[in-house]
Amino acid sequence: MNSLGMWTLFKRETHRFLKVNMQTVAAPALTAILYLIVFRYAMGDRQVPGMDVDYFTFLIPGLAMMSMLQNAFANTSSSIIIGKVMNVHIYLLMAPISAIEMVLAFIAGAVLRAVVVATVFLLVLIPFVDISIHHMGLILIYGVCGSIIMGGMGLIGGMWSDNFDHMSMVSNFIIMPLTFLSGVFYSIEQLPPVWQQVSHFNPFFYLIDGFRHGFLGVGDSDPWLSIGIVVGFAVATVLLCWRLWHIGWRLKE
């Protein structure tokens, strides 16, 4: 067990995004706030159908979670693809760190970035809006599981990609639609029945719904039942990353 090696890799991953914090922390928080302003004035005081909350309040947790998911993905995927393009990933392959240690350190870095971005976003909002917290435990479980899943997916996406073009294909054509269509901007009650059914197969739906439940106490599914789904999904993602790193999938010829 090389715990110092893991810690070093985690610090490197953290250091990497903190060094360019305007791009990695401030920019995503600003984007989320812009969404909020736009929808605030576009939707007015409209209520979300079937829930006892106004649209603005409904949006805040969803946007926080969406930023978390996208940033967790960006942290691992950019690290791996920059490493591959600049050939520095060989230093990770040569290091005496086992595959599971490697994966856990990468994902921990992604989770930290996700938490930092969401926290900055919420802190900026506090002076202007009243942010209620219904259940902190739910917020943490869904936030952390979501970041683990997306950190892991970023790792896999980075391993699969050979260049920045591949990478942006994954993030624009897979990750963006899944996060956008997961109920950040609407309650799935508002969708036609078929798409309601489809949404139940989108893991991001459970993440955002459960996370929102932690803030508002309302949602489209039972957050306590969905915990099983997201925890299972997080564990499966980590196991898959472990396996892929172990065999050197698309990293070693």
Partner 1 sequence: MSIALRIHELSKCYSNNKLALDSASLTVPEGSFFALLGPNGAGKSTMINIMADTVLPTSGSIQLFGREMFDERLWCKRQMGVVPQEVAFDPFFTPREILKMICGLYGQKPDMKWIEELLDRLELVQHADKTARQLSGGMRRRLLVAQALVHRPRLVILDEPTAGVDVELRKRLWEYMREINANGTTILLTTHYLEEAEELCDHVAIINEGKVIESSRMDELMHNVAGSFLWLRYGDGLSLSAEDEGALSEFLPRIQDGKLCLTLSRIDAQQSSFHQAYEAAKKRFGAPLDAGVCQEDLEDVFLRLTHQGDKQ
- Residue of 25, 36, 92, 122 that binds partner 1 (CB under 8 A): 92
How many chain residues bind partner 1 (CB under 8 A)?
29
- Residue of 52, 96, 126, 130 that binds partner 1 (CB under 8 A): 96
Shortest separation between residue 165's beta carbon and partner 1, angstroms: 19
For 54, the 3-state DSSP assignment is strand
For 252, the 3-state DSSP assignment is coil
Alpha-carbon span 154 to 69, nearest angstrom: 10
14 scored as a contact of partner 1 (CB under 8 A): no
Q: What tokens appear for 232 in the block?
A: 């299972």
Q: Which is nearer to partner 1, 7 or 180 (CB)?
A: 7
Q: Which is nearer to partner 1, 83 or 217 (CB)?
A: 83
Alpha-carbon span 57 to 129, nearest angstrom: 9
Shortest separation between residue 9's beta carbon and partner 1, angstroms: 7
For 47, the 3-state DSSP assignment is strand
Q: Which string of x and - marks every residue 46-85 that binds partner 1 (by CB under 8 A)?
A: ------------------------------------x---
Alpha-carbon span 126 to 148, nearest angstrom: 26
Q: What tokens appear for 35 in the block?
A: 């969404």
88 scored as a contact of partner 1 (CB under 8 A): yes
Other beta carbons within 10 angstroms of residue 121's beta carbon come to 22
**Residue pair 245/102 in contact by the 8 Å Cβ criterion:** yes
- Residue of 26, 27, 43, 95 that binds partner 1 (CB under 8 A): 95
Could you list the residues that contact partner 1 (CB under 8 A)? Answer: 2-5, 7-9, 11-12, 15-16, 19, 82, 86-88, 90-98, 248, 251-253
